Chains A and B, each alone.
Chain A
Amino acid sequence: MTIPQLLVDLLQLLFDLAVPGAICTMVLAGVALRQEGGVNFEAGGRFQRWMLWSVILLTLPQFLAWFAAQGISVPPQTAGVSGPWLMGMETTFKSFVTDVVVGRLVPVLAAFFVLKAALDTAQGQSPLGSVVSAMFLLTVSTSVRLMQGWNSGSTFGTTDMLASLWNFLAGTILPEAAGLAVVGAVISYSRQRPVMPLVASALAFLSVSALWKLVQAMVG
């Protein structure tokens, strides 16, 4: 049976909006990150779920290709939306995400997080959570581009991207965060608070890959 052109166009519209949609879910992930502490996330929490949705949206063709490989009929992608009305909707949504969300809304949200960092400090709490969340929000579009570069293009593109994300966190972000742990340890020492958790975590930040291998060896 031939699928009507309007439905084909609608499906293509949804495919085309996957990347702008991923940017939106990344923004929501940034807000959820602050809600969950800013420097940590809850297992199964909102940050984790929004990040998973971002990865799924960025690898939607590969994700559906896996189902197609199992014999499930998946509508084919076309070159683009042919109807002018739907094309207009697509252009409008993309412009909204680029000009309004990324260009104006996200910097304002990040600025509010910086404001919150100052207020957190006034309450005697660490400003780090709000500052890290603000950085996460300000770099949403570049992070999406970085994640697109991790798309292996295979039917396991989604899990490959998640693995690359883990490698990025373990190999790049956490070794840099070790420096912040040292700063935190010095401040804790000056306030006569426990230092060893921060020293031990700084060493752990520098050896996350090795700890992963250790756990694998333990269960192997």
Chain B
Amino acid sequence: MFENGILNLTNWAGNVIMPTLAGLFIAGAIYRFSKSLPYSHLSWAAMAALMCSGLLRVLEAFAQQAGANDPDRYWISLLTLVNWVGNVLLPIYGALQVAIMVAHFAGLLERMNIGEAWVRNLVTAMACFSVSGLLRLGEFWIANGTAGVR
């Protein structure tokens, strides 16, 4: 049936192809890092590719805050999305910024990025040799994350 076809296509794309492409995204991120180009979107895309299923479950949870025939359902799902971004993602991002602030204050990032090309080459080489491990690390975080915040 058509319904089964769409369901299987979604499962295949989200649970087979995207986790596979995550490796390619990481490889792209490493290459761009070696060229001093912005690479963060590819590393985040690799994480997102590993958790397509979870992202869909998040959107489903947002949409299910109201009944299927409740006229406010879309507004409530958008509101929940905004709340989630504001109260969950931004605090985590804020904590990350504090860590980066400390690293900057200590002069760590300046030494790595400005005038010290050998550090970038070293980090790139290490990442190239451990790309499989990086992917496994991402998978480990996501598998751990499915249990929720503990």
CA distance A179 to B72 in the complex (A): 22
Shortest distance between the CB of B19 and any CB in chain A (Å): 11
- Decide: A146 and B1 in contact? CB cutoff 8 A: yes
Interface residue count for A (Cβ, 8 Å)? Answer: 41
- Decide: B3 and A213 in contact? CB cutoff 8 A: no
Interface residue count for B (Cβ, 8 Å)? Answer: 42
- Decide: A179 and B1 in contact? CB cutoff 8 A: no
B-contact bits for A195-220, CB 8 A (1 contact / 0 none): 00001101110110111011011000
- Decide: B66 and A210 in contact? CB cutoff 8 A: yes
- Decide: A173 and B6 in contact? CB cutoff 8 A: yes
The answer to whether A183 has its CB under 8 Å from any CB of chain B is yes
The answer to whether A47 has its CB under 8 Å from any CB of chain B is no
Q: Given A177-B10, A179-B14, are A190 and B49 neighbors across the interface (CB < 8 Å)? A: yes
Shortest distance between the CB of B104 and any CB in chain A (Å): 25
- Decide: B48 and A186 in contact? CB cutoff 8 A: yes
- Decide: A206 and B44 in contact? CB cutoff 8 A: no
The answer to whether A136 has its CB under 8 Å from any CB of chain B is yes
CA distance A213 to B76 in the complex (A): 14
CA distance A208 to B44 in the complex (A): 30
CA distance A172 to B3 in the complex (A): 7
Q: Given A206-B59, A210-B69, are A182 and B2 neighbors across the interface (CB < 8 Å)? A: no
A-contact bits for B1-12, CB 8 A (1 contact / 0 none): 111011101110
- Decide: A179 and B52 in contact? CB cutoff 8 A: yes
- Decide: B71 and A186 in contact? CB cutoff 8 A: no
A187: B residues at CB distance < 8 A: 45
Residue with the highest number of chain B CB atoms closer than 10 Å, among A136, A146, A177, A210: A210
A-contact bits for B39-75, CB 8 A (1 contact / 0 none): 0011011001100110110011011101111111110
Q: Given A179-B14, A210-B69, A210-B74, are A203 and B6 neighbors across the interface (CB < 8 Å)? A: no
Partner of B55, one of A138, A182, A211, A217: A182
CA distance A88 to B32 in the complex (A): 70
CA distance A209 to B81 in the complex (A): 19
